[in-house]
Structure formats: structure tokens, C-alpha cells
């Protein structure tokens, strides 16, 4: 049975000790991202964590609309010269700089024992399908046949939807067939693998417009050798300077 490091993980929207600036009144601290919960908020100055009783929270006096809290107000003016101010807290999904509102991040995470989180069986197959879809063909020097040429669709306007759909479908099916070939090579080497991690059949590749007309929703269905039917969805934006997988 094969295992791999788990790449996609739920984002906690946690801001870890981000540098903040003290305003000219020597009391107000502006935060780059709004605070979702004041209960978990921590503030430190020159590496010393302040007690919660020494500050409060407020909004900008210049704002004419109700908005999430971005300001911390010290109870007493700071007498420190150019203090190093840092804050740790949780922000909102739409403001999160880590996942940029997508809820998930592609990053390494660890379990309670300090070991890397891993995936196996059908979860490993889904992750391998994702790698084959979003990796730019030829960008991996160790596996040059891994990926798609979806990045070649840079700046294409969606004038002929059928043409774009066919290009995306062909790219993905070709890439997944390469995955099947590599798995056959793996089996021939007599390496122990599970039926859940093996791609058996490629089902449908459905390309449709999302609510935003500049974004396409791509849904791929496929079956593992274990008999379980799986689905992978990727949003594809074609209107930026490069193809964006969102």
C-alpha cells in the first residue's frame, strides 16, 4: 500500500504574529486583516504578550459602514520608541491571506504526534488526480510527462465555449491515461499497492460555466479498482495573466 503526504488541508484562517503599526495617537493599532474572534486574540509588544485587560477593540471612526474589527486600542498610550507590535488571531474566510477564501490550503500539516499527515487508498488516488490536472506539463523535472497543458490557455477569452471545453477535456483525459500507464509500471515492479489507489476507469469530464462567467467549473469522475466511484472538482479562471486554479 502506498502513502503520500497530504497536501490539501482545511484552513484555520489563523494569523500568526503578524507585524502591526502603532498609530500617531500612540494608542491605536491597525491590523492588516479583521478579527473574527476576540477570544483567541493575542497581542505582544517587543516580544512580551500583553494582558487582555490592557487593550480593547474598535472600528475606524472615519468608516460610515459597519465592518469587521481591525483596530486594537491600548488603554494607555505607549511610551516605547518604535515598538515591535505583533498580533495573533483568527480572521474571516473572505479575508484570509493563506487560503484567499478557498477554505483549503495546499501545505504540509502535522498530527498530534508531530508526524506529517498522509493520505492513502482512494484519498491518495484523488490527490494524484489533482496533481495530474493542476501540474504544468514538463514542469516536474523528475516526471516530465506529469500534468496538463491547461496553462497554455493563458489569456484566452471564452468566445467559443465548445472549443475551450474540448481542449480542457482532452488535456485532462490524456493526463489521466498517463497516470494509468505509470500505475501499470508500478504494478509490474511488484510493489505493494491497494485497489483504492489505482485508477480503473475514467468517467466524465464536465466543463461548465460557474456563476462568474470568467470561471469554469471542471468536474472529473473516475473509478478506483476497488469499485468506488470518485469525483474531483476544480475551478479554472482563464482571464488573468496566467491560468489560475481556484
User: What is the CATH number for 136?
Assistant: 3.10.450.40
Query: Are 234 and 124 contained in the same domain?
Result: yes
Query: Are 25 and 83 contained in the same domain?
Result: yes
Query: Are 88 and 137 contained in the same domain?
Result: no
Query: Are 134 and 85 contained in the same domain?
Result: no
Q: How far from each other are the two terminal CA atoms of the chain, in whole angstroms?
A: 31
Interatomic CA distance for residues 15 and 99, integer angstroms: 12
Q: How much is the pLDDT for 217?
A: 86
Query: Are 151 and 53 contained in the same domain?
Result: no
Q: How many CB atoms lie within 10 A of CB 125?
A: 29
- Residue 242, pLDDT above cutoff 70: no
Query: Are 80 and 125 contained in the same domain?
Result: no
- Distance set, CA 32 to CA 23, 116, 142 (Å): 13, 30, 40
Measured at the CA of 184, the angle between CA 178 and CA 187, to 5 degrees, comes to: 145
Average pLDDT estimate for 165-172: 92
Which residue range(s) make up the domain with 215?
120-245
Residue 1 lies in a domain: no
Residue 209 lies in a domain: yes
Give the pLDDT band (50/70/90) at residue 117: confident
CA 90 to chain CA mean position, Å: 17
Query: Are 24 and 125 contained in the same domain?
Result: no
Interatomic CA distance for residues 93 and 70, integer angstroms: 15
Stretch among 89-93, 103-107, 113-117, 129-133 having the lowest mean pLDDT = 103-107
Report, in angstroms and rounded to the nearest whole number, the Rg of the chain calculated over CA atoms: 24
Residue 114 lies in a domain: no
Dihedral over alpha carbons 168, 162, 234, 245 (to 10 degrees): 70
Residue 186 lies in a domain: yes
Query: Are 124 and 86 contained in the same domain?
Result: no
Give the pLDDT band (50/70/90) at residue 236: confident
Interatomic CA distance for residues 85 and 27, integer angstroms: 12
Residue 57 lies in a domain: yes
Q: How much is the pLDDT for 245?
A: 53
Residue 101 lies in a domain: no
Query: Are 48 and 84 contained in the same domain?
Result: yes
Residue 100 lies in a domain: no
Residue 158 lies in a domain: yes
- Residue 46, pLDDT above cutoff 50: yes
Average pLDDT estimate for 102-116: 75
Query: Are 30 and 140 contained in the same domain?
Result: no
Structural domain count, the chain: 2
pLDDT tens, residue by residue, 84-96:
999 999 999 888 8
Burial class (CB in 10 A: 0-12, 13-18, 19+), 9: middle
Amino acid at each position: 500500500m502506498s502513502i503520500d503526504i497530504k497536501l490539501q488541508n482545511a484552513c484555520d484562517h489563523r494569523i500568526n504574529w503578524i507585524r502591526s503599526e502603532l498609530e500617531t495617537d500612540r494608542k491605536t493599532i491597525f491590523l492588516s486583516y479583521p478579527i473574527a474572534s476576540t477570544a483567541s486574540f493575542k497581542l505582544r509588544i517587543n516580544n512580551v504578550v500583553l494582558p487582555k485587560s490592557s487593550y480593547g477593540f474598535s472600528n475606524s471612526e472615519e468608516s460610515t459602514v459597519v465592518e469587521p474589527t481591525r483596530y486594537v486600542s491600548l488603554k494607555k498610550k505607549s511610551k516605547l520608541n518604535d515598538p515591535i507590535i505583533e498580533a495573533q488571531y483568527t480572521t474571516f474566510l473572505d479575508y484570509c491571506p493563506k487560503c484567499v477564501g478557498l477554505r483549503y490550503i495546499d501545505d504540509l500539516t502535522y498530527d498530534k504526534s508531530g508526524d506529517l499527515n498522509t493520505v492513502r487508498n482512494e484519498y491518495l488516488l484523488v490527490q494524484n488526480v489533482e496533481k495530474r490536472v493542476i501540474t504544468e506539463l514538463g514542469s516536474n523535472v523528475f516526471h516530465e510527462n506529469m500534468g496538463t497543458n491547461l496553462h497554455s490557455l493563458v489569456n484566452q477569452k471564452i468566445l467559443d465555449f465548445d472549443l475551450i471545453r474540448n481542449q480542457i477535456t482532452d488535456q485532462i483525459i490524456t493526463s489521466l491515461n498517463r497516470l494509468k500507464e505509470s500505475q501499470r509500471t508500478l504494478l509490474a515492479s511488484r510493489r505493494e499497492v491497494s485497489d483504492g489507489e489505482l485508477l480503473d476507469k475514467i468517467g466524465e469530464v464536465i466543463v461548465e460555466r460557474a456563476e462568474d462567467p470568467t470561471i469554469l467549473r471542471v468536474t472529473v469522475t473516475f473509478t478506483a479498482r476497488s469499485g468506488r466511484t470518485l469525483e474531483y472538482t476544480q475551478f479554472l479562471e482563464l482571464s488573468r495573466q496566467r491560468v489560475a486554479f481556484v
